[in-house]
Amino acid sequence: MEHNKRFLLVHPEISRNKYNFAGIIDNEPLELEYIYSMLKSMGYEPDIWDGQVETVSLAEKLKSFMPGYVYVCGRTRQESFMKEYCANSKEICGSTTFVGGIHAQHNYKHFYEDSIDFIMTSFDMFAIADILCGKSLSEIDGVCFKSGGIWQENAPKPFDAERLPVPDRTYFYAHLDRYRYLELLPCAHVRTAYSCPYRCKFCYRNRLNCGVYSARSIASVVEEIKGIECENIYIIDDDFLVDAERILEFVRLIKKNNIRKKYVCYGRADFISGHPDLMKQLKEIGFYYILVGLEAVSDRYLSDYNKLSDMSCNISAVEILNNVGINIMGMFIIDLDFKPRDFRELYKWIKSHKLRHTAISIFTPEMSSELMEQYKSRLITDAPCDWDYLHVVAKPSNMSVKQFYFHYHILAAKLFIKGWREGIYDFVDYGFYIRTILKNMFGFGG
């Protein structure tokens, strides 16, 4: 595996289908920036190619950079791009190829291909360093590799978030005009923890990091934020509002350091409803959006999902955040059991509770999850590109797939018009989104 020391880190383009909503949420490639930082300290020459923002194709980048090594991350919907990028890297540069990220971690067998050399199955980026340093592969946790043409699987171990290096944000700073969360442009990402201590049935996030919640000290998080030259910070933990003491410490240190920024984070409705005063304090230090998995407008669904929260928490979370002036982004699941009236009731609830920002996702059993076993006989596709929460992947119980898409797109259009009237998406090209919604309504997915 002797190569030049150029190492290309690749983040795929978002999508090649008609559901390409680039320009609304474009994420800083933080995972790659951690690896970048580690490689630089080892004397390698790393570079990043992010398909969300690049204007040159990956093939052109490969030809000009000629990396000895290529690492590709991605989500389920990007699986085919990830494989294509590895094949291109082998063909053009003869690079040693690595794949990683949350899809590969849990579906590593999907990547058993000739053009892929290593599959990283944990968050421990130092396993890449071990491979580069020539450590015996059998002693490295969380990696799949070929030996004598047969794939070997070393089990992953939980990664201690405290070991994360300070990410090198050179690439982010060079593309400040591209990385955003809605109107917050530019918007930098910060990670303070991996995984989630809850066990909601539909969610795979709690299985990440071997199912172990691992959090950094708040002092190191605030130190990192202090050094970021960007006024908007998206805390990308699966759930930031886990421990009230930890959040109070965050508020205290942000105030002490006189840091003035806007923040986005995920939080649960039951936490918000149980801590109204803390929400006021978060508003004071700049919390701008809290993304809340409200999931449903009936206790039956919340209980089926093992959400360990209920409708009174949902209602109170919306009221509290509306009152303190933090934008709540309510995220809902469009269940495959929905009847036409469920779509209507969801809209009615959103309107009557004055919820301005919403996101709706079609119920999608994650690949390689227990839920997938339950839905196996109902699957209507196995194409990874459909795992984007915008496609129906399993047969609905109470209507045809075509009818389901019809109701889904009507709801999406109503929510979009509501948001447009309330002026919350003034930064987007409305013409483009209306055309996209109409195309989806009459094309019924795809």
In the complex, the residues that contact ligand SF4 under the rule CB under 6 A are 196, 198, 200, 203, 205-206, 238-239, 268, 293
The closest of 1, 91, 105 to 366, measured between CA atoms, is: 105
Contact of 343 with 297, CB cutoff 8 Å: no
Task: Give me the least distance between CB of 369 and ligand SF4, in Å please.
Answer: 12
* Cα 166 to Cα 183: distance, rounded to the nearest angstrom: 26
**Residue 70: left (phi > 0), alpha (psi -120 to 50), or beta?**
beta
| Closer Cβ to ligand SF4, 206 or 358, answer by number | 206
Task: Give me the least distance between CB of 213 and ligand SF4, in Å please.
Answer: 9
Between the CA of residue 166 and those of 9, 30, 126, 256, what are the distances in Å?
Answer: 17, 10, 13, 22
CA geometry: angle 340, 343, 346, nearest 5 deg: 145
| Closer Cβ to ligand SF4, 306 or 403, answer by number | 306
Query: Phi and psi of 119, rounded to 5°?
Result: -120, 120
Task: Give me the least distance between CB of 203 and ligand SF4, in Å please.
Answer: 3
Task: Give me the least distance between CB of 315 and ligand SF4, in Å please.
Answer: 18
Task: Give me the least distance between CB of 305 and ligand SF4, in Å please.
Answer: 8
Task: Give me the least distance between CB of 389 and ligand SF4, in Å please.
Answer: 13
| Closer Cβ to ligand SF4, 52 or 309, answer by number | 309
Task: Give me the least distance between CB of 366 and ligand SF4, in Å please.
Answer: 11
Task: Give me the least distance between CB of 201 and ligand SF4, in Å please.
Answer: 9
| Closer Cβ to ligand SF4, 206 or 232, answer by number | 206
| Closer Cβ to ligand SF4, 52 or 314, answer by number | 314
| Closer Cβ to ligand SF4, 47 or 238, answer by number | 238
Strands (E), 150-253: 150-154, 180-181, 188-190, 193-194, 214-215, 232-235
Cβ contacts of residue 162 below 8 Å, gap of 6+? 214, 216, 217, 220
Contact of 394 with 377, CB cutoff 8 Å: no
Return the percent helix, strand and coil in the chain, to nearest 5.
Answer: 45, 20, 40
Q: Parallel, antiparallel, or unpaired for β 69-72 and 6-11?
A: parallel
Torsion, Cα 337 343 348 350, to 10 degrees, reads 80
| Closer Cβ to ligand SF4, 200 or 235, answer by number | 200
* Cα 326 to Cα 282: distance, rounded to the nearest angstrom: 9
* Cα 179 to Cα 222: distance, rounded to the nearest angstrom: 21
Tokens of 382: 């196995």
| Closer Cβ to ligand SF4, 47 or 366, answer by number | 366
Task: Give me the least distance between CB of 284 and ligand SF4, in Å please.
Answer: 25
| Closer Cβ to ligand SF4, 198 or 404, answer by number | 198
* Cα 230 to Cα 224: distance, rounded to the nearest angstrom: 12
